[in-house]
Amino acid sequence: MGLRPNLLTRRAAGVASTTLALLLSTAAVGVVPAASAFSAAPGGACVEPTDSHTNARVKPGAAAKHEPNELTAKQVRERDADLAAALRERATFRTGAGATALATVTIPVVVHVIQRDSTRAGGNIPDSLITAQINVLNQAYAGATGGAATAFDFRLDKINRVTNPSWYPIVDGSSAERSMKSSLRVGGKNTLNIYLGELSDDLLGWATFPQRKLNSMDGVVVLSESLPGGTATNYNQGDTGTHEVGHWLNLYHTFQGGCSGSGDSVSDTPAEASPAYECPTGRNTCSTAGLDPITNFMDYSYDSCMYQFTPGQASRMLTAWNAYRAA
């Protein structure tokens, strides 16, 4: 396993729970707002960027319809401005500005298995792969694989199997994808809807970022054979799911913005010029401090290479949860 020693043992060992305290403000550790964030949102108003699935995870050489590598600088400014505005909005409903939010968050999960037919080749994966995926999420977000512990754990509430050839494969950005999600999505902003199936353009998965108003497109799409025990070579330990849920909780790619600017808006992930593929140990693409974070769940490395979130990422996710998804 190289950079991921004893990973399978750690994943089988169970999940630790954690309680984090976080000030409900934009001064939280690990959150680095874009320089023009507040000026981009006069009076706290901000137009949320359209969902173009620029947060997709791809295999090397995949030909996605949308550029998958990063958001535009304008999109980052809009998103960070909206996060600041949402936090201010939330603060008005609490006792005193900047109230402390204590969080151990259990996220209900509904999994939609999209099938062409009843065969494994047609998308009919066994329940065991899905339960293994939930276990991987719990261990990754608890820090059990070697990274920082976050506030989140995941509870599988339902597996919904749908045979519909018109939704298979799931095509990124299509009217069929919108129809599928509009028909199937359940729960509030705090409910994680995961859609599994064969995907278009050799993509591994994509996700929506959190928004103040619930959108029927909200959720995560994952290649079914990338689940633990699936057939997607080098991408079948469940970390596409881990990666995409990170986006759903408001994390950017580690290579967002390249070597300049605010990068991924997290202070403790070293800058990275471009996605890391495979497992390029010692890679260093920026002159700033630190090697490229190729072991971070928000890069593009092989599943066997990635094993961690940073404390700053854990803080950013909790801040976004309090702003957007908390009841």
Q: Which residues are catalytic?
A: 244
CB burial class (10 A; 0-12, 13-18, 19+) of residue 121?
exposed
CA-to-CA separations, 30 to 183, 267, 313, in angstroms, rounded: 37, 5, 6
Could you say which DSSP state residue 220 is in? Answer: E
Contact status, residue 170 vs residue 177, Cβ threshold 8 Å: yes
Q: Say how far apart CA 202 and CA 242 lie, in whole Å.
A: 18
> Could you tell me the two tokens for 105?
């968050």
Q: Say how far apart CA 196 and CA 125 lie, in whole Å.
A: 9
Residue written as tokens 């403790």?
A: 268
Kindly report the backbone phi and psi dihedral angles of residue 244, in degrees, each rounded to the nearest multiple of 5, phi listed first: -70, -35
Residues 6+ apart with CB under 8 A from 323: 83, 86, 87, 90, 210
Find the helix or strand (DSSP H, E) in which 81 lies. helix 73-91
Kindly report the backbone phi and psi dihedral angles of residue 211, in degrees, each rounded to the nearest multiple of 5, phi listed first: -135, 160
What are the DSSP calls for 136-151, one per residue?
HHHHHHTTTTSS---S
Strands 192-197 and 105-115: parallel
E strand spans, 164-311? 192-197, 203-207, 220-223
